Amino acid sequence: MRRREFIAAVGGAAAWPLAAQAQQASVKQIGILQPQPESDPEFRASRMLFISRLHELGWTDGQNLQIHARFGTGEAATIAPIAKELVDLRPDVLLAITALAAVVLRQYTLAIPTVFTQVGDPVALGLVTNLARPNGNVTGFASFDYAIGGKWLELLKDTVTGLSWAAIFFEAGNPSSTQYVLAIEAAAAKQNVRLIPVPVAAAPDIATAFTSFTDLGHGCIIAVPVGIIVRQRKEIIAGAEQNRLAGMYPYRFFAAEGGLMSYGSDIGDQYRFAASYVDRILRGARPADLPVQEPTKLQLVVNLKTAKALGLQIPAAVLAHADEVIE
């Protein structure tokens, strides 16, 4: 080999690792924390919306982006170890799915930019100090104000003649649960409805609760939008149908899977908007400068097939306000 060729070859060999390092450094890292199992179809669909929107914005997993996702079992106790594992990877930005994920991640980092979805009241939870100016490393998209709990009870009161009691299914140990229960309690006092709290720590708690509702008169159930309640929705919906109880649920997919009614925000929008915030952060924006967004529209969905099975006649006034009626 001639001396000139040798020098060129050596120079090229030396430059290759530098180019590889530069390419590696340009790959951004995203951490996703989801308390629910990876297999949950609704949360999988939402994650795909998030990833699809990122792709539209110029980010492709495996090319200029690497996504690290961690999943829980749906129970609060399982989330802390995987949250710490994710934070230890030091990603460029974190996506916290639900209030539980956001609260736990905050315990492990006050530095890594974090975008949340499906959170009730981020100020009450201590995630941000102000919706317009989050003033920290956290921002995101709120599902709805906790006061919606009063609306859930009001809709049930309008639907079930002589409603005398309501059982609230919530997750024991979840920070959002208390806020929803307080809002429903305030409404129940005005509506003269007795509340039966049903704290759920494990799946068997659901079956046990339904066995205690016999011979109580005209009642209903309300499912709070937190971890294990979302995960065990099929059991809750089935229990309500078997015991001929009207049920109010927070998201459309509850009604689509057989629940009587749902009233809440479109969570698909939250994931698409969350991707836009993640994109802005990856390009240099600070979470403190990105205001927390609240839903501009809530949707009421009524399942008439379930109503018929329960022997309920949905009032015309309720149907008139429905955004979707499932026949």
pLDDT digits 0-9 by tens, 172-230: 877 778 888 988 999 999 989 999 999 998 889 999 999 988 777 789 999 998 878 88
* Segment 111-121 mean pLDDT: 93
Which pLDDT score is estimated for 168?
96
Going across the sheet that includes 165-171, the strands are 194-200, 165-171, 219-223, 246-249, 261-264, 299-303, 324-326
Which pLDDT score is estimated for 19?
41
The pLDDT confidence band at residue 1, using thresholds 50, 70 and 90, is very low
Domain ranges within the chain, ordered by starting residue: 22-143+266-289, 148-264+298-326
d(CA 187, CA 277): 35
Which pLDDT score is estimated for 2?
45
Nearest to residue 323, comparing CAs of 245, 268, 265?
Answer: 265
Predicted confidence (pLDDT) per residue in 257-298, tens digit: 999 999 998 888 899 999 999 999 999 999 999 999 988 889
Domain boundaries 148-264+298-326, CATH class: alpha beta
Tokens 């799915």 — which residue?
Answer: 97
Q: Dump strand ranges (E) for 172-260.
A: 194-200, 219-223, 246-249
Backbone torsion region of residue 84, taken as left when φ is above 0, otherwise alpha when ψ lies between -120 and 50, otherwise beta: alpha
How many angstroms separate the most distant Cα atoms in the chain? 98
Averaged pLDDT of the chain:
88
Please indicate whether the domains covering 22-143+266-289 and 148-264+298-326 agree at the CATH topology level: yes
Give the residue with greater pLDDT, 1 vs 160: 160
Using CB atoms within 10 A of its CB, is residue 220 exposed (0-12), middle (13-18) or buried (19+)? buried
Positive or negative: CA dihedral 30, 287, 275, 123 = positive
* Predicted TM-score of the model (pTM): 0.78
Predicted confidence (pLDDT) per residue in 7-65, tens digit: 344 344 444 444 444 444 589 999 999 988 898 888 899 999 999 999 999 999 999 99
Predicted confidence (pLDDT) per residue in 50-104, tens digit: 999 999 999 999 999 999 999 998 677 789 999 999 999 999 999 999 888 999 9
* Contact partners, residue 8, CB within 8 Å, separation at least 6: none
CATH superfamily, with its number, for domain 22-143+266-289: Response regulator (3.40.50.2300)
d(CA 141, CA 172): 24
